[in-house]
Amino acid sequence: MSRYYQVLPRSVEPLSVEPDKTEPDSSEPVARPWLESFCPPELAGRPVFIVMPGGGYIRHADHEGADVARWLNALAINAVVLHYTVAPDRPQGPLHPAPLRDARTVLAWLRCGTSGLGADPERIGVLGFSAGGHLAATLSAGIDAGAGPAADRPDLSVLAYPVVSMVASFHAGSAESLLAPGAPVAARSALSAELAVDGATPPTFLWHTSDDGAVPVENSLAYAQALSRHSVPFELHVYPQGRHGLGLAPGEPGAGGWSLECARWLAGHGWCIPRSEWAVSQQPLDSGRRMQNNNVSEKALS
C-alpha cells in the first residue's frame, strides 16, 4: 500500500484519501503537487530515492513512477514518487520555479529526518526520466528555485534520457512548458543544468539511446562532459537503439540492461543489497500503512 502526501511551498503533509476512493490520478493535471511513498518498514534506515517521472512538464508518465519505486524497493532502497507541478495547458506565464521548488521541499523534508518514513536522511538520491531528468539535474546542480541557490543537493543522481539543456539540442516542448514560448536565451541558460554543474554536484549515473527521436543524446553527453570538467564521478551508458520514454525498458535489446548496470553502480556506492540477494524477492514489497509525518521546518529549508 502506498502512502500519499501533499507538497506545499515549505512543507509536506499527509494527503487524505478516503477508504472507498482510489489514489490520486497521476494522469490528471497537477494543480497541487503530491508525493507517493514506497518506504516499507523492512527498509528502515536504508537509502531513499526521489523518483521524478517524465512528461514534458505537461503530464507525468505513469510507467516512470510506481514501477520504478518498486524496482528500487527490490534493491533494498526506499523510494518516493514526486508528482511535481506541471502545466497541462502550457500557460502564457512560466511554470518555473514551481517544479524545482517542489523538489527542493521534498529533499529538505527527507533530509531533516522527521518525515516519519524511516529512510536514511544522509543517503538521498534522485532518479529522473526525460523532463523529470531535467528536474533531477537542476536539483543536483544547485540551480536557483526562486529563493536563492540550493543549500543542499542529493547524494546521488540517476538520469534516464534526461532533458538537460535549454539552449542546445533541447526538447522544445519542455522548454515551452517550463519557461513559456519565446523565452529569452538568458532565461533558458539559467535552467540549463550542464552550465550549472560544479564540484558539489553528486556522482551521477546516466543512460540514453543514440537514436532518441525526442530528446537528443547530446543532452546526456553535455552533462557528462560538465561532470568530467569538474571531476565529479559519473557513469554513462549510451545504447545504439531505443525509442524515447522506455522507463525500465523490460525486454528491450541493449537498453533493457540499464537497470542492472545501475544496480551495480548503486552497489558500488554501498546503497544496494549484494548482487547475490537481488533476486531473492520477485514480488514488490508492501509499502505499509499510511502514516503521519512532521512538516519541514524553516531551519531545514534555510
Q: What is the mean pLDDT of residues 35-41?
A: 95
Q: What is the mean pLDDT of residues 272-298?
A: 42
Bond preceding residue 94 cis, omega within 30 of 0: no
Q: How confident is the model at residue 297 (pLDDT cuts 50, 70, 90)?
A: very low
Q: How confident is the model at residue 293 (pLDDT cuts 50, 70, 90)?
A: very low
Domains along the chain with CATH numbers: 3-301 (3.40.50.1820)
10 or 282: whose pLDDT is higher?
10
Q: How confident is the model at residue 292 (pLDDT cuts 50, 70, 90)?
A: very low
C-alpha 224/C-alpha 288 separation (Å) is 38
Per-residue buried b or exposed e for 117-132, using 16+ beta carbons within 10 Å of the residue's own CB = bbbbbebbbbbbbbbb
Q: What is the mean pLDDT of residues 17-46?
A: 69
**69-80 pLDDT tens trace:** 999 999 999 999
Task: Check whether 142 has a pLDDT greater than 80.
Answer: yes
C-alpha 259/C-alpha 262 separation (Å) is 5
- The pLDDT score that the predictor gives to residue 298 is 27
Cβ neighbours for 268, distance < 8 A, ≥ 6 positions apart: none
Calculate what percentage of the chain has a pLDDT beyond 70. 79
Strands (DSSP E) found in 149-212: 156-160, 204-209
33 or 293: whose pLDDT is higher?
33
- The pLDDT score that the predictor gives to residue 17 is 39
Q: What is the mean pLDDT of residues 59-84?
A: 96
Task: Check whether 291 has a pLDDT greater than 70.
Answer: no
301 or 94: whose pLDDT is higher?
94
Q: How confident is the model at residue 1 (pLDDT cuts 50, 70, 90)?
A: low
**238-270 pLDDT tens trace:** 999 989 989 999 999 999 999 999 999 999 999
Task: Check whether 28 has a pLDDT greater than 60.
Answer: no
Q: What is the mean pLDDT of residues 177-182?
A: 82
DSSP-derived 3-state class of residue 277: helix
Q: Write the DSSP assignment of 255-275 as a string of letters.
A: GGGHHHHHHHHHHHTT-S--G
- The pLDDT score that the predictor gives to residue 274 is 64
Task: Check whether 14 has a pLDDT greater than 90.
Answer: no
- The pLDDT score that the predictor gives to residue 3 is 82
Task: Order across the sheet with 48-52: list the strands.
Answer: 11-14, 3-8, 34-38, 78-83, 48-52, 124-129, 156-160, 204-209, 234-239
Q: What is the mean pLDDT of residues 269-287?
A: 58
- The pLDDT score that the predictor gives to residue 83 is 95
**84-136 pLDDT tens trace:** 999 887 655 788 999 999 999 999 999 999 899 999 999 999 999 999 999 99
Q: How confident is the model at residue 208 (pLDDT cuts 50, 70, 90)?
A: very high
- The pLDDT score that the predictor gives to residue 90 is 61
